[in-house]
């Protein structure tokens, strides 16, 4: 292990005059037109880089005016460090590193030295072959079979393919799965935009923000599902969403829906794909800045050509509806999986603090316990804590890293939550139920008093 607590050495020239900057002064540069961050004690003015940042502007804005060492190290290879030199303005005079962060950076450097971030394994190739085989099977069931059950099976196969595409898009968004950036991009668009109708650019924008601000009620879009769901009573105060740039209103409709969210959760997950399709379409069409917009639009358009055409090949309307519902319901399993890792974990309000990265990632995340032969089912999310700490690490190494992370959490007295798939569902359901009962009793968002309203709210 390297002797320094930092995974990367400072870039300042020790022989030259270096401007010393206090943390208070650093916090004063936290706006889009004046944005400073600190990495390993060095301070950088990245204002000009903000519109060109490959990960979008939200991560930089979220960590503006503070230490971003752990987040930078987690998301960037060591080769990215020299690119910062042109933005250097000084060094923090009161730079400190917490014991947890020091150990985290040592472990990160150790994994990097072992070459684990570059060894992807055979998983992507196996997935691509499997998806191709299943897609051909679905086409055969629709075009060559007259049985309604075969048509229903085809819909389920499409849903299962969408799940695998989701895991592939997730992996390729965090690290290179082929070793070639251009080939990765082609796979992303074909398996994501074209096959599922979900824009990879939209997903990256959403997912990068989620990782940076894990479980922040007003910053993390993965917890902002008003008016359908709320994981905390803190959301009942008409909170402003820093991601969607709108108020998450807790009105009469929200109160009614959230009051029964523990019963509607699984039915809604069966059709949650609709929400993602709508968000993707709105993003690629109306978002001000979309990388390679025309490619993203063309990919999503391809989905809206082949999928309706395949549905139209079915002989009658009830089989078409069953086909769509089957594909949506099967892929709904993945939407449930996305929720299990965070819904029942610790939440907070406000932007994350860059100097407690390790603590925030472990506190807001839940691992799923499963045997190795079930890893394919969870797509890497079963080691969600490890993934949040090392997002560039290919999923084939997460099981190896988990014991080291557990030891670090134990050493520093930090939360390391893990539960079986069943228990994780129970914890999520209990979280939703607790918030539902609080929604019923809160005075905010109350509907006009009448007999119907009183009747539907009789039971606690």
Inform me whether the pLDDT recorded for 1 exceeds 60: no
> Of the residues 81, 96, 111, which one is the last residue of a structural domain?
96
Whole-number pLDDT of residue 257? 95
Q: What is the pLDDT of residues 60-98, one digit of tens each?
A: 998 999 999 999 999 998 888 888 999 999 999 989 888
- Binned at pLDDT 50, 70 and 90, residue 454 comes out as very low
The predicted model scores a pTM of: 0.89
Per-residue pLDDT tens over the stretch 129-139: 999 999 999 99
Question: For the segment 243-252, what is each residue's pLDDT rounded down to a tens digit?
Answer: 888 999 999 9
Q: Report pLDDT digits (tens) over 152-190.
A: 999 999 999 999 999 998 888 888 888 788 898 999 999
Using the predicted structure, report yes or no on whether residue 30 has a pLDDT greater than 80.
Answer: yes
pLDDT digits (tens, 9 = 90+) for 388-443: 999 999 999 999 999 999 999 999 999 899 999 999 999 999 999 999 999 998 87
Instruction: Mark whether 121 and 25 lie in a shared domain.
Output: no
pLDDT of residue 16: 58
Asked whether residue 84 falls in the same domain as residue 108, the answer is no
Which of 124, 102, 230 lies closest to 173, judged by CA? 124
Per-state percent for the chain, helix, strand, coil, to nearest 5? 60, 10, 30
Domain, as residue range, for 331 = 98-460
Based on the domain organization, do 134 and 235 belong to the same domain? yes
**116 with 222, same domain?**
yes
Residue 80 CB: number of other CB atoms within 10 A?
13
Q: If pLDDT is split at 50, 70 and 90, which confidence band does 311 have?
A: very high
Residues 317/322/325/328 CA torsion (nearest 10 deg): -110
Cβ neighbours for 227, distance < 8 A, ≥ 6 positions apart: 249, 250, 251, 253, 254, 257, 258
Of 96, 122, 147, which residue constitutes the final position of a domain?
Answer: 96
Whether 104 and 77 map to the same domain: the answer is: no
Straight-line distance from the first to the last Cα atom of the chain, in angstroms, rounded to the nearest whole number: 56
Higher pLDDT, 319 or 79: 319
* 151 and 35 together in one domain: no
- On the question of pLDDT at 9 being above 80, the answer is no
Q: Are residues 427 and 457 in the same domain?
A: yes
**Among candidate residues 50, 68, 96, the one where a domain is terminated:** 96
pLDDT of residue 459: 40
Q: Token digits for 321?
A: 């509806």
Number of domains in the chain: 2
Q: pLDDT at position 236, please?
A: 93
Same domain, residue pair 115 and 224: yes
For 316, counting Cβ atoms within 10 Å of its Cβ (0-12 exposed, 13-18 middle, 19+ buried), the class is exposed
Residues recorded for the chain = 460
Instruction: Please tell me which residue, 13 or 56, carries the higher pLDDT value.
Output: 56
388 within 8 A of 414, measured Cβ to Cβ: no
Specify the pLDDT at position 353.
78
Q: pLDDT category, 451, cuts 50, 70, 90?
A: very low
Residue 101 has pLDDT above 50, yes or no: yes
Instruction: Compute the average pLDDT of residues 218-234.
Output: 93
| 82 and 138 both lie in a single domain | no
What is the overall mean pLDDT for the chain? 89
Share of the chain above pLDDT 90, in %: 71
Of 50-54, 199-203, 324-328, 388-392, the poorest mean pLDDT is in 50-54
Token pair of 250, please?
A: 């807790």
Mean pLDDT of 276-288: 91
Q: Do 162 and 245 belong together in one domain?
A: yes
pLDDT mean over 196-204: 92
Find the CATH number of the domain harbouring 3.
Answer: 3.10.120.10
**Predicted confidence (pLDDT) at residue 52 exceeds the cutoff of 60:** yes
274-295 average pLDDT score: 90
Secondary structure of 251-306 as H, E, C letters:
CHHHHHHHCCHHHHHHHHHHCCHHHHHHHHHHHHHHCCCCCCHHHHHHHHHHHHHH
Residues 127 and 71 in one domain: no
**One domain, residues 88 and 106:** no
């Amino acid at each position: 292990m390297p002797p320094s607590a930092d995974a990367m050495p400072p870039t300042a020239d020790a022989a030259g005059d270096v401007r010393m900057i206090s943390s208070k002064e650093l916090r004063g540069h936290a706006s889009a037109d004046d944005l400073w961050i600190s990495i390993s004690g060095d301070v950088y003015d990245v204002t000009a880089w903000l519109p060109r940042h490959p990960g979008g502007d939200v991560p930089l804005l979220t960590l503006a005016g503070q230490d971003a060492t752990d987040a930078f190290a987690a998301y960037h290879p060591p080769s990215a460090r020299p690119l910062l030199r042109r933005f250097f303005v000084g060094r923090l005079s009161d730079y400190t590193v917490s014991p947890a962060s020091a150990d985290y950076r040592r472990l990160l450097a150790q994994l990097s030295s072992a070459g684990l971030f570059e060894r992807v394994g055979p998983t992507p190739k196996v997935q691509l072959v499997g998806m191709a085989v299943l897609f051909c099977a679905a086409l055969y069931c629709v075009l060559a079979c007259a049985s309604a059950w075969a048509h229903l099976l085809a819909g389920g196969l499409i849903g299962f393919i969408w799940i695998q595409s989701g895991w592939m898009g997730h992996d390729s968004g965090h690290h290179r799965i082929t070793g070639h950036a251009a080939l990765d991009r082609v796979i992303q668009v074909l398996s994501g935009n074209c096959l599922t109708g979900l824009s990879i650019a939209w997903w990256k924008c959403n997912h990068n923000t989620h990782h940076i601000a894990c479980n922040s009620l007003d910053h993390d879009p993965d917890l902002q599902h008003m008016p359908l769901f709320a994981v905390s009573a803190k959301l009942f105060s008409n909170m402003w969403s820093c991601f969607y740039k709108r108020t998450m209103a807790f009105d009469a409709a929200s109160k009614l829906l959230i009051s029964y969210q523990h019963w509607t959760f699984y039915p809604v997950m069966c059709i949650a794909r609709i929400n993602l399709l709508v968000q993707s379409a709105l993003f690629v069409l109306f978002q001000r800045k979309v990388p390679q917009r025309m490619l993203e639009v063309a990919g999503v358009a391809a989905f809206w050509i082949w999928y309706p055409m395949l549905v139209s090949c079915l002989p009658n309307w009830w089989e078409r509806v069953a086909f769509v519902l089957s594909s949506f319901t099967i892929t709904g399993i993945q939407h449930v999986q996305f929720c299990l890792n965070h819904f029942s974990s610790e939440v907070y309000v406000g932007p994350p603090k860059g100097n407690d990265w390790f603590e925030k990632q472990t506190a807001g995340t839940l691992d799923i316990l499963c045997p190795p032969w079930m890893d394919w089912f969870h797509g890497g999310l079963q080691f969600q804590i490890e993934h949040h700490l090392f997002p560039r690490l290919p999923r084939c190494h997460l099981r190896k890293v988990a014991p080291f992370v557990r030891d670090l959490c134990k050493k520093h007295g930090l939360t390391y939550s893990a539960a079986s798939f069943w228990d994780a569902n129970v914890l999520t359901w209990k979280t939703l139920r607790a918030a539902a009962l609080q929604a019923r009793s809160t005075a905010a968002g109350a509907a006009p008093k009448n007999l119907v309203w009183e009747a539907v709210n009789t039971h606690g």
